[in-house]
Amino acid sequence: MSAIPAVSENYSDLIYQYPESPQALLSRLARYSPQIVDNRYAILHIPESENRATVADTGYSLVPKLFTYLSTVSLEQSGILSTQSQPILNLRGKGILVGFLDSGIDYTHPAFRNADGTTRILSIWDQSDQTGPPPAHLGYGTEYTKEQIDRALLDTDPFAAVPVRDQNGHGTAVAGIACGTPQKESDFFGAAPESEILFVRLKPAKQYLRDYFLIPEKADAFQENDLMLGVRYLAEKARILQRPLVICIALGSNQGSHSGQTPLEETLSGIQSLSGIYVVTAAGNEAGMGHHYYGKLSRQGERVDVELLVDAKTEGFTVEFWASASETFSIGLLSPGGEIIEPVQPRSKTSQEFTLLLDNTRITLDYELVEITTGTQLAMLRFSTPASGLWRIIVVGRTFINGNFHLWLPITGFIPAGIRFLDPLPDTTLVIPSCARGPITVSTSNAYNGTLFINSSRGYTSNGIIKPDFASPGVDVTAPAPGGGLRSFTGSSAAAALAAGAVCLLAEWGIRRNNPRIFTSTEIKSLFLYGILRNAALHYPNPEWGYGEMDLFGIFEAMIRP
């Protein structure tokens, strides 16, 4: 059997913004096995022999970025339990689909089964399994239907028939919090327990991308293009079934300008223009991690030394520098051993490599004066086998407008804890894709004491979009675990899952009203803001809470308030 380009290490994957019709693209670039995401983006697979996989070769936006997990009382605090149990409302997500893109799902868990033992999962696209038929027009992975899952559940070894597993447990927890079947004996309730589930089990990222972005060997990483095609799959299923769909994204990355303009973020915002599709994204757990630096020069020619502590053994890591394209900056380095790389004159589409003999470190610096999706300036630094100690990234303003710039280290999970900026800024730490304008973005609150989770990522976006939209409980949330048990789950992933379940209930209310209707995504977000909880001591919106704390039942209370 010939290699499948989407999964073969012999092909590089590129995200391509195409200018013509999908049919013309499929014909013109057939040799690259194109896969259409939407009317703007396609995925191309380039043979290894053409050597087109790096930022220097193709440009930053074309190279798929890598994503990982965002996890490190709540139903009642969020107003979900009251909405479920109120006799007239009695909302449980019936008639609504919930879609997940994650590590996998333990489909045998009671949290995903009906009272008669059948599954609530309508389909699973397992991108990592190449043994069966893939979904139509997607070309890789295996699709498992509800009928196949139900038959497997009757077998003594269900995984022999449907070998979808969740070794990590993240996907099982997220899906269970959002829409798990109640287990009253264990005091477990999913937010939307009568909704039905669509699941995309993401395949692991290809090794060439892991190597290029210097991802640690044991870290779980997923490719941006697989997420984009997963979104297409979920939307297509909702179209066929003619049901409203809530998509929950509980993964994140620090790769990008944090302005909501990556291909994945534009795909998510675009998909919400379709009737009855709603996207919920997790803001992340990056506050306090020391992964973001904000700088401001006051005049042309000024120099700032950004101190970066490397106090952990690592094979390498990346740093991304982003600034307006209307002004230019030179980047240099001073190593712990005193070796200096003089600030490099910025030129578009250039790549330079430096070897530091005393520190046994190799540095690659890639410049894009105008990055094509954002129109902003990018410099990407790759540190290979970096020496421990205090590094200084030298930033010099060549032309001056406002002097603002940002630097981001990789997301937690892609970098050891001992690598951090010495003077970080906890604001503008929202992860990608939560910077997207269209989806609902939630930060993480603690339902037990009414505070914000200490590591909850903060807004706003780098270009001033107000994010997060609101906070959702995400500390010590009870969640299903692979194998049939339950676990405590904390972090941004839990907050997003709970909010996705709440969106399901609100969407169900729309289709069950006396004058039934499918809300637009803008209406759904506005309704949440209508019933939001606010602290009189705070000013809103703010970078931590957005417009306040989610209160689903508060929406209905506000409607009847005199």
**Would you list the domain boundaries of the chain?**
11-66, 69-97+169-193+214-287+432-560, 292-421
Q: Do 69-97+169-193+214-287+432-560 and 292-421 agree at the fold level? A: no
End-to-end distance of the chain based on CA atoms, in angstroms? 69
pLDDT value of residue 275: 83
For residue 82, pLDDT beyond 60: no
**Average pLDDT of the residues in 508-532:** 89
Beta-carbon contacts of 269 under 8 Å, excluding residues fewer than 6 positions away, are: 260, 436, 437, 438, 439
Report residue 161's pLDDT band, with 50, 70 and 90 as the boundaries: very high
Q: Pairing mode, if any, of strands 245-249 and 277-282?
A: parallel
pLDDT value of residue 348: 75
Report residue 450's pLDDT band, with 50, 70 and 90 as the boundaries: confident
Can you give the pTM of this predicted structure? Answer: 0.94
Q: Which of 58-67, 76-85, 102-111 has the highest mean pLDDT?
A: 102-111
The rounded Cα 515 to chain-centroid distance in angstroms is: 35
Q: How far, in Å, CA of 396 to CA of 405, rounded?
A: 11
In what order do the strands lie in the sheet containing 292-296? 292-296, 404-408, 316-323, 377-384, 361-368, 350-356
Task: Give the Å distances, CA to CA, from 326 to 255, 313, 381, 397.
Answer: 22, 38, 21, 12
pLDDT value of residue 437: 93
User: To the nearest whole percent, how much of the chain has pLDDT over 70?
Assistant: 95
Q: How far, in Å, CA of 395 to CA of 333, rounded?
A: 9
Give 314 or 279, the one with higher predicted confidence: 279
For residue 80, pLDDT beyond 80: no
Report residue 76's pLDDT band, with 50, 70 and 90 as the boundaries: very low
For residue 61, pLDDT beyond 90: no
CATH number of 292-421: 2.60.120.1290
For residue 40, pLDDT beyond 70: yes
pLDDT in tens, 180-219: 998 877 778 888 999 999 999 999 999 999 999 999 998 9
Q: How far, in Å, CA of 192 to CA of 504, rounded?
A: 6
Q: How far, in Å, CA of 5 to CA of 47, rounded?
A: 8
Give 292 or 557, the one with higher predicted confidence: 292
pLDDT value of residue 428: 97
Q: Which amino acid is at 197?
A: I
Report residue 72's pLDDT band, with 50, 70 and 90 as the boundaries: low
pLDDT value of residue 554: 80
pLDDT value of residue 312: 78
Q: Which of 21-25, 62-66, 553-557 has the highest mean pLDDT?
A: 62-66
pLDDT in tens, 3-35: 899 999 999 999 998 888 888 988 999 999 999
pLDDT value of residue 442: 97
Give 100 or 371, the one with higher predicted confidence: 100
Pick the range with the lowest mean pLDDT from 3-12, 435-444, 508-517. 508-517
Q: Which of 150-154, 322-326, 353-357, 552-556 has the highest mean pLDDT?
A: 150-154
Q: How far, in Å, CA of 137 to CA of 198, rounded?
A: 18
Question: What is the DSSP secondary-structure string of 200-226?
Answer: EEPPPPPHHHHHHTT--TT---EEHHH
For residue 296, pLDDT beyond 60: yes
pLDDT in tens, 466-499: 999 999 999 989 899 999 888 888 999 999 999 9
pLDDT value of residue 86: 46
pLDDT value of residue 78: 43
69-97+169-193+214-287+432-560 CATH fold:
Rossmann fold (3.40.50)
pLDDT value of residue 210: 95
Question: What is the DSSP secondary-structure string of 3-52?
Answer: --TTT-TTEEEEEEE--S-HHHHHHHTGGG--EE-SSSEEEEEEEGGG--
The two structure tokens encoding residue 29: 């670039």
